[in-house]
Homo-oligomer: A and B are copies of this chain.
């Protein structure tokens, strides 16, 4: 897929503002770069809102993962919404002026996994803002096939966070939620979205845990029946399930203690959806925690293409799910350092850039 790995720059003189990972060191740089050109099957999108993600923090800090994966310089950012301003000549279903967001995983579309409904784990995936230029910029070029249209009544704010909302939809709705008892460990933005999704989809009891009071308050607002500190989760689950354990755990933290707690508190025969990324290996007693309990574990990658996107559009359309309370901070691109700082503080819900 080399031809898709980088955006070709058109031979025009327009220059646009973009947040750049300039060198193999901490930090981002805001600078003017050439306006991205588009291929015949791509569109150019004027970015209006862009979500800031933990992944962006890793790249900002230039941690071990990003050192192994990323090749500066490149434009950062992978969550966004905006307006289409230019359309490649092979594109038939996206038009100038369309209000859109996009799947940031650019897959080959032709491999066995893509052809059998598993594009989300395509081995040839290139992620915008990680493997090619991203969306913390005034404009971004995207393959038309990755573009997703927004309903008229969906704001750019909400459009700009479809990527992490999609993580939450993927995590929640690949379990069976109607009627289920659900434990959500970790109330970062994705965990908070998951609370709202489970509530809209008829979970009978949602227990959300986190160490942070602000996030727990947001979890309550999104519809959690119980919001608890991790140390209280056992008691809350036991009370809610008559000591049986919950039907479904959505692990959103990556914290080892939360992962073990999830295995402990899911009922026999239940399901653990793992989205949170542990920063290191951990000791697991597979016999006791997994096998004798007869549970199913599912590793969540990205968003199913495009079932998850379709579900998002439907949930937003119905009005039963409203992610806006999760957005707690807004910054211009010029305040990127502050945006990163707020996320690292652990006090924020979702942080977004207002770009245009």
Report which A residues bind B (CB closer than 8 A).
Answer: 1, 3, 40-41, 90, 92-93, 109-110, 112-113, 115-118, 120-123, 145, 173, 177-181, 200-205, 244, 254, 259, 267-269, 274-275, 277-287, 290-301, 305-307, 309-311, 314-315, 317-318, 320-321
B202 lies within 8 A of A294 (CB): no
A179 lies within 8 A of B311 (CB): yes
Q: Measured between C-beta atoms, what is the minimum distance from A96 to chain B in Å?
A: 17
Q: Which of B3, B278, B318 contacts A92 (CB 8 A)?
A: B3
A274 lies within 8 A of B286 (CB): yes
B314 lies within 8 A of A179 (CB): yes
Q: Which residues from chain B contact A306 at a C-beta distance below 8 Å?
A: 115-116
Q: Measured between C-beta atoms, what is the minimum distance from A31 to chain B in Å?
A: 32
Q: Which residues from chain B contact A200 at a C-beta distance below 8 Å?
A: 178, 202
Q: Which residues from chain B contact A293 at a C-beta distance below 8 Å?
A: 121, 299, 301
Q: Measured between C-beta atoms, what is the minimum distance from A312 to chain B in Å?
A: 8
| Closest B residue to A290 using CB positions | B299
B292 lies within 8 A of A301 (CB): yes
B121 lies within 8 A of A315 (CB): no
B287 lies within 8 A of A284 (CB): no
Knowing A110-B93, A306-B116, A311-B178 are in contact, say whether A291-B267 is a contact too (CB < 8 A). no
| Closest B residue to A308 using CB positions | B116
B311 lies within 8 A of A269 (CB): no
Among the interface residues A120, A145, A299, A310, which one has the most CB atoms of the partner chain B within 10 A?
Answer: A299
A286 lies within 8 A of B278 (CB): yes
Q: Which residues from chain B contact A317 at a C-beta distance below 8 Å?
A: 204-205
Q: Which of B93, B275, B294 contacts A299 (CB 8 A)?
A: B294
Q: Measured between C-beta atoms, what is the minimum distance from A150 to chain B in Å?
A: 15
Q: Which residues from chain B contact A321 at a C-beta distance below 8 Å?
A: 202
Q: What are 16 A-B pairs at a CB distance below 8 A? A: A90-B90, A113-B267, A115-B305, A115-B306, A178-B202, A179-B201, A204-B314, A204-B318, A274-B291, A280-B285, A281-B283, A281-B286, A282-B284, A286-B299, A290-B297, A290-B299
| Closest B residue to A242 using CB positions | B112
A318 lies within 8 A of B202 (CB): yes
A294 lies within 8 A of B115 (CB): no
| Closest B residue to A302 using CB positions | B294
Q: Which of B113, B181, B287, B307 contacts A268 (CB 8 A)?
A: B113
Complex CA gap A279/B291 in Å reads 12
User: Which 3 pairs show the lowest CB-CB distances between chains A and B?
Assistant: A121-B268, A179-B314, A204-B318
Complex CA gap A150/B294 in Å reads 27
Complex CA gap A277/B293 in Å reads 12
Q: Which residues from chain B contact A307 at a C-beta distance below 8 Å?
A: 115-117
Q: Which residues from chain B contact A286 at a C-beta distance below 8 Å?
A: 259, 274, 278, 281-282, 284, 299
Q: Which residues from chain B contact A294 at a C-beta distance below 8 Å?
A: 118, 120-121, 299-301
